[in-house]
Structure 1
Amino acid sequence: MTRRLGAAAAMVVAAGFLTLLARDTWHWSRAVHDADARAALSTVTPRAWQADETLPAGLVRRLLGIDDDLAFRRTAATALQLASQEPTAAGHKQRSIVEAALVRLARGGDPVRASIAADDLGVLLYADPPSPDQAANAYLDPTQTGPSNLQTPEQKAQLQFTNAARLDPDNDNAQRNLELMLRRPLPAPQKGSPQPGGSERLGHRGSGARPAGHGY
C-alpha cells in the first residue's frame, strides 16, 4: 500500500511538473513571437523578449536553448535604441559594449545573423560623434592601419553596410542603408568632422526582422 501511495504521489508531482513545463514553454514561444512581430514594425526595448515563467531559475529557457537567440535580439534592440538617442559621455561605455557585442555577432558563423549585426553596427556607428582623440579600432576596419578617427562616422557606417549586404544579399535593410550611403558624398577623412546629417534617415523600420530562434 505504501509503495502504491508513493508511486501515486510521484505521478501527481510529475504531472504537475509537466503541466508547468508546458505552460512556460508556451509562454516563451508566444513572448518571442509577439516581440518579434512588434519589433518588425517599430523599435522596441530589449525587455520585450521576456516571458512570465512559473518554474524557477530560467529552467525552461535553458531547456529550449534560446539564450543565444534572446541575447541576439536584445543586443540588436539595444543598438537601435542607442542609435536613436543623442550620444552622451555617460552613455559612451554602454555604446562601446554594444558595439563590441555586434562585432562578435558580425563575425559569427550564421551569415544572416552576422549581416543583421553588421547592419545594426553601421547604424550605431553612423550616430556616433567623431572623436579627435579616438584610439585605433581595428575591428571597425581590419584593413585600417592608422587611428580610427581618420574615418568619419559615415565611412565607418558604410563599411559595415557593405559587409552586411555581402554577408546576406537578401538583407533589405542593409541594402537600403548602403544605397543611402552611396548616394551621399563622403567627406574627406579628417579629425573633428561634423556629425552626419541629411533628410533621409538610416536604420530599420523596426528593431525586428530577426531570424527565427534556433532553440525551438
Structure 2
Amino acid sequence: MTTTRHVTAAAVPAPVAAVLARLRALEATLPPSDGIAVFNRVYLSVTEEVVRRLGAGGFQDPAAAGELDAVFARRYLAAVDAAGAGLTVPACWRPLFQLRRHPGVRPLQFALAGINAHIGHDLALAVVDTCRALECEPAALAADFERVGDLLAGMEERIRESLMPGPDLLDIADPLTHLAGSWSLEMARDGAWAAARGLWGLRGLPETAQEFAERLGSGVGLVGRCLLTPLG
C-alpha cells in the first residue's frame, strides 16, 4: 500500500511527529509478513493522511485533532511496547499479538483485526483522554471525529483492495470474502463514539468506568479473534 512519504516532521506538531517516527521505525524493523507489520503499514498510511489534512486545514480545530491523533496512536504503541517487554497486552489487541505469525491468517485479516482493536476500543478511550487534556466535552471533538471517520471510510476500500487476493484466487478466498464482509468500520466508529460518550458520563464513577472499558476491550477482542480465524 502506498503511503504519503512527502510528509516531513517539520510540518507536524511534536506529539504527532513522535508518533510518525515510531510507526516508521516499526515499519523498518518488523518482518513484512508479521501481522503487526501489516496493521502498522495501514496505520502509518492513515496517520500520514491525517497529517496532510492537518497541514491543509482539513480539520475544524487542528490543535484538538492533532492531540486526539497522538493520544489515539499512543494506545496502539503502548500495546506494542507491552508485547515487546513480555507484558500482557490489552484484551482488544491480544488476539492479533497472539496470532501475528500464524501462517493460516491472511494479511487482510491482520489489518482488519488491528483496525477493529484500535477503533473499537482505543478510539473511545482516546476521545475521553483528549477531552480531559483539553478540558472540553466530547461534543467539541464531534466535527473532527466525523472528518477522521470519513477519511477512514475512504481509505478502507483501498486497504481492502490492496490486501485481497487477485481474481485468480477468488474461489479459494470465499471464507476470506465472508470474513471481510462481516465487519463494518462505520459500525465500529459509531460504537466508539457511543462508548466515548458513555465513558465521559461515567467519569465521576471511576470504578464503573473502568469496568465498562474492560468489558469493551474484551468484546472487541472477541470480534478480533473471529476476524483472525485461520483459513488454511
What is the TM-score of this pair, normalised by structure 2? Answer: 0.26
Larger radius of gyration: 1
What is the TM-score of this pair, normalised by structure 1? Answer: 0.27
